[in-house]
Amino acid sequence: MTAPTSLSQDELKTLVGRAALDYVVPGEIVGVGTGSTVNKFIDALATVKERIGGAVSSSEASTARLKALGIPVLDANEVASLSVYIDGADEIDGRGYMVKGGGAALTREKIVAALAQRFVCIADESKLVSVLGAFPLPVEVIPMAASQIARRFESLGGQATLRLRDGRPLVTDNGQHILDVRGLAIGDPLAFESEVNQWPGVVTVGVFARQKAHVCLLGTAQGVRTLK
């Protein structure tokens, strides 16, 4: 697919959202992520809704959008496996390792991704990085552990701040809080994810290394570039 050079970031998201339809298996249930790029995918998915079995969603926001467009949403507990999970990223490297959670949905995203045989990441080209960490790393935490976890990140050279919404701590779909950690360069995403996941009070760290992308559809000025 070829795109003119003047496409906006929003148009690049539309391009990859539509391209992701190629990975949807007819008759099957689709794993659906969260975010502005995924919203484009959901809009595209609605055009083929009669040909799928429904969706498993990673957030209340995506669930609302799917339902509004007439796509049935199944509980993750009703599904043993998914052929594909389609989601965006805040950062992705050439190996398919990602930082996610800019939309605060990282825990459910990891849960749905873990059900899927294939993770297809959809992103505009601004998300491609050589080393993860420039985007503030989202970490979902149990509120009483937030300060302790922030100090642990400080000892690694990071600065953690509590994410706010309307002046109050943001509360996730799971009733927890989000720390955003700046100043990290994550050279070994698998080891980093394993380490931080052990810290008491961490619900989910936004490094997706175990649940990495198998395919990335990157929206570029030249069209959709597929990274495998």
Enumerate the active-site residues: 109
Structure tokens at 132: 């993860």
Member of 90, 91, 93, 193 binding ligand 5RP (CB under 6 A): 90
Phi-psi sector, 96: left (phi>0), alpha (psi -120 to 50), beta: left
Binding mask 4-23 for ligand 5RP (x = CB under 6 A): --------------------
- The CA distances from residue 126 to 49, 64, 129, 162, 187, in Å, are 30, 27, 8, 25, 19
* Minimum CB–partner distance for residue 152 and ligand 5RP (Å): 22
Q: Helices 36-45 and 60-68, interaxial angle, to 10°?
A: 30
* Minimum CB–partner distance for residue 139 and ligand 5RP (Å): 12
Residue 87 interacts with ligand 5RP (CB under 6 A): yes or no? yes
Q: Which residue's CB is nearer to ligand 5RP, number 36 or number 148?
A: 36
Residue 219 interacts with ligand 5RP (CB under 6 A): yes or no? no
Q: How many Cα atoms are found within 13 Å in the side-chain-facing hemisphere of 87? A: 40
Residue 189 interacts with ligand 5RP (CB under 6 A): yes or no? no
Give the span between the Cα atoms of 70 and 82, in whole angstroms.
20
Helix (H, G, I), strand (E, B) or coil at 69: coil
Member of 103, 133, 136, 189 binding ligand 5RP (CB under 6 A): 103
Residue 36 interacts with ligand 5RP (CB under 6 A): yes or no? yes
Q: Which residues are annotated as a binding site?
A: 34-37, 87-90, 100-103, 127
